[in-house]
């Protein structure tokens, strides 16, 4: 089974010298025994889910020296009620490591996540100029930033692998100073290259995505078959949504709570009611329950309106709390001729 899967397994885009731990920037495709001194060391981000577990199994089966790493990015002591999601992740990740007979390291990036991901997310959301996606920032600053550095410096890893459905490939010239290309996963319904789009090229040089050449159906078959993963892992539902919100909360309530705390003594808050204002003529056509519940392009709940209205702008300045809306999904205010990348 492994022999049939190995053609889909990307080789880490690193090369190593003869000295222990020595690395170069070349894009030579490393093999499990690319050094005479030891096999290539791969740190695998283990979440407790089936995708990261199968990624680790594939790499170990291919002969790599694999160590699992579980991150904690959110302090759930901040929340009230509900079940601690990290404790379940931790339990499942440990079960995966035991089943695969690999070591599992646990690392805390709560502080780094708060400053590099969550605070900028709140600021962008408050300004109303964009629809922020914290997963992009997490991959750039935490997974392939803080975690990658930790794995290299503390664990002596050559490569960081994750269970993303994406691929990396060397450039056509394969020059030492050129970064690899980020490609879509072959499973179009599960492709996650978008969420990796902001990761620095130099980090992608030390990244590996074993599932990029597989479909979700194939991954599930491997998990339940030759990988022999615990049932608690194979039966686990795929994660969806924003990690720090959790399953117990409504997003609008969550963002209102933290947004209000950040705004302090402001006269209006993320959760303060405000007006829906027509972008065409400035008329007030309804009220909303707080800007935290809306983002650009979202359908606005305007009672009694004969047609659908959509949010095209937000004004969170003190004293306003206005959500500007436009009638119809084809209104010109919903389209732009330029984008900030």
Catalytic residues: 138, 243
Please check whether residue 82 is in contact with residue 248, taking contact to mean a CB–CB distance below 8 angstroms. yes
Q: Give the pair of three-digit tokens for residue 74.
A: 């959110």
* Cα–Cα distance for residue pair 52/46, rounded to 1 Å: 5
Q: What angle is formed at CA 3 by the lines to CA 196 and CA 171, rounded to 5 degrees?
A: 35
Give 92's Cβ-side CA count (13 Å radius): 22
Task: Quote the tokens at residue 39.
Answer: 């096999």
Contacts of 107 (CB under 8 A, 6+ apart): 69, 70, 71, 72, 147, 150
- The closest of 171, 155, 144 to 105, measured between CA atoms, is 155
Q: How far apart are CA 64 and CA 3, in angstroms?
A: 15
For residue 240 the two structure tokens come to 């969806």
Residue 112: both structure tokens together: 């780094």
- 28 Cβ contact list (under 8 Å, min separation 6): 13, 14, 15, 34
Distance between CA 89 and CA 107 in Å, rounded?
13
Measured between alpha carbons, how far is residue 187 from residues 35, 208, 224, 256, 284 in Å?
Answer: 33, 17, 19, 36, 46
Q: How far apart are CA 320 and CA 18, in angstroms?
A: 64
Half-sphere exposure (CA, 13 Å, Cβ side) for 341?
5
Nearest to 102 by CA among 113, 114, 90, 94: 94
Consecutive H or E run containing 41? strand 41-45
């Amino acid at each position: 089974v492994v022999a049939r899967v190995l053609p889909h397994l990307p080789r880490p885009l690193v090369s190593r010298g003869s000295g222990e731990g020595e690395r170069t920037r070349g894009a030579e495709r490393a093999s499990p025994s690319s050094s005479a001194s030891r096999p290539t060391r791969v740190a695998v981000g283990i979440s407790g889910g089936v995708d990261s577990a199968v990624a680790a199994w594939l790499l170990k089966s291919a002969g790599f020296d694999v160590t699992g790493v579980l991150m904690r990015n959110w302090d759930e002591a901040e929340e009230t009620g509900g079940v601690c999601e990290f404790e379940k992740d931790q339990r499942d990740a440990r079960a995966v490591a035991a089943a695969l007979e690999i070591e599992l390291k646990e690392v805390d990036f709560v502080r780094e996540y708060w400053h590099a991901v969550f605070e900028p997310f709140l600021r962008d959301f408050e300004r109303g100029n964009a629809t922020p996606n914290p997963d992009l920032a997490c991959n750039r600053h935490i997974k392939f930033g803080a975690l990658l550095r930790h794995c290299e410096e503390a664990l002596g890893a050559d490569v960081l692998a994750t269970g993303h459905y994406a691929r990396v490939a060397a450039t056509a010239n394969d020059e030492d100073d050129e970064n690899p290309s980020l490609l879509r996963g072959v499973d179009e319904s599960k492709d996650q290259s978008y969420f990796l789009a902001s990761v620095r090229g130099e980090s992608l040089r030390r990244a590996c995505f074993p599932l990029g050449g597989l479909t979700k159906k194939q991954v599930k078959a491997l998990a339940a078959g030759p990988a022999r993963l615990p049932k608690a892992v194979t039966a686990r539902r795929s994660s969806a949504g924003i990690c720090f919100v959790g399953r117990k909360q409504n997003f609008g309530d969550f963002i209102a709570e933290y947004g209000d705390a950040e705004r302090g003594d402001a006269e209006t808050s993320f959760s303060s009611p405000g007006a829906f204002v027509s972008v065409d003529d400035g008329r007030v056509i309804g009220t909303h329950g707080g800007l935290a519940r809306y983002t650009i392009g979202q359908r606005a709940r305007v009672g009694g309106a004969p047609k659908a209205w959509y949010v095209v702008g937000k004004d969170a300045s003190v004293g306003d709390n206005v959500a500007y809306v436009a009638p119809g999904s084809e209104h010109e205010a919903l389209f732009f001729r330029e984008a900030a990348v």
